[in-house]
Chain A
Amino acid sequence: EIVLTQSPATLSLSPGERATLSCRASQSISSDLAWYQQKPGQAPRLLFYDASNRATGIPARFSGSGSGTDFTLTISSLEPEDFAVYYCQQRSNWPLTFGGGTKVEI
C-alpha cells in the first residue's frame, strides 16, 4: 500500500498569506495525485488531478505541482473561504489511498 504523508498537520496563517502544503508518497507515483479541499460539515471537493491540472471552477490562486514522490499544493494569497482541510490522494496503485490531511487555519 502506498502511504501518503502530508505536512504540516496544521498550518496557521492569515488572509493574504501564502500557503504551501506538502504530500510525500512512500514510492514513486508519477503524477497520479489529486488534491481535495474539505470544509467543516461538507464533503470534499476536487481541486487538482494528475498533480497539476486544476479542476473546474477552482480559482487561479491555487496551484499544484510535483511528480514522483514529492508534491505541493500552493495557495498564493489566502482568502477567508480557503481555511479548510486539504487531502492528497494517489491512484497509482491499489488500494487508492489518501494522506492524513493538512488543516489550514487562521
Chain B
Amino acid sequence: QVQLVESGGGLVKPGGSLRLSCAASGFSFSDTYMSWIRQAPGKGLEWVSLISSSGSYTNYADSVKGRFTVSRDNAKTSVYLQIHNLRAEDTAVYYCARDPHISGLVTNWFDPWGQGTLVTVSS
C-alpha cells in the first residue's frame, strides 16, 4: 500500500539548517507530484512546497521562499526539504503528501499524508 515516511526532524538553534526526508513506497513515485505541508503545535495546516514528478517545477509559500529548497531523487523514491536560516516560527510538524493524480491529472490535493516529523527551533 502507499506509504510515506518522514525523517530528519529535531531540535535546531535559530539560524540553523536541517534536511527533511520523505521515503515513499507503494506507488509510481516518478510519476507523482509531491508536497510538504506543516502544522505548528496546536495550529492549522500550512502548505509549504510542491515539486513536480521530474523535479523540474517547484513552488513555495512566500513565508519560506529563499530559505527552503525542495528536491527529489526518483531512483531512491524520496523527496527532500532543505531548510536554512531556521526561525522560531518554523517550529512545526512537517508532513509530506502525495498528489493523488485523479484520472491521471495533477490535482494539487493531498492523499495520503505521512505521519510527519517534528522540527523545533529553539536556543
Instruction: Give residues in A with beta carbon < 8 Å to B.
Output: 34, 36, 42-46, 49, 55, 87, 89, 91, 94-101
- With a CB–CB cut-off of 8 A, which chain A residues contact B59? 94-95
B107 CB within 8 Å of chain A: yes
- With a CB–CB cut-off of 8 A, which chain A residues contact B50? 96
Query: Do B102 and A45 have beta carbons less than 8 Å apart?
Result: no
Which among A43, A96, A98, A99 is the interface contact of B116 at CB below 8 angstroms? A43
Query: How distant is A93 from chain B, measured CB to nearest CB, in Å?
Result: 10
B27 CB within 8 Å of chain A: no
* Number of residues from B at the complex interface, CB < 8 A: 22
Some 12 contacts from A to B, beta carbons below 8 A apart, are: A34-B109, A43-B112, A43-B114, A45-B111, A46-B100, A46-B111, A89-B109, A91-B109, A95-B59, A98-B44, A98-B47, A100-B44
Query: How distant is A90 from chain B, measured CB to nearest CB, in Å?
Result: 9
Which among B47, B61, B109 is the interface contact of A46 at CB below 8 angstroms? B109
Residue in A44, A46, A49, A55 whose Cβ sees the most chain B Cβ within 10 Å: A44
Classify the secondary structure of B's interface with A: loop
Query: Do A95 and B61 have beta carbons less than 8 Å apart?
Result: yes
Per the 8 Å Cβ criterion, residues 45-90 of B in contact with A are: 45-47, 50, 59, 61-62
Determine the distance from Cα of A94 to Cα of B57 in the docked complex, in whole angstroms: 14
Query: How distant is B49 from chain A, measured CB to nearest CB, in Å?
Result: 10
Known A43-B116, A46-B112, A100-B44; contact A95-B107, beta-carbon cutoff 8 A:
no
Residue of B nearest to A43 (CB): B113
Which among A43, A44, A45, A91 is the interface contact of B107 at CB below 8 angstroms? A91
Query: How distant is B25 from chain A, measured CB to nearest CB, in Å?
Result: 16
Known A46-B100, A95-B62; contact A101-B44, beta-carbon cutoff 8 A:
yes
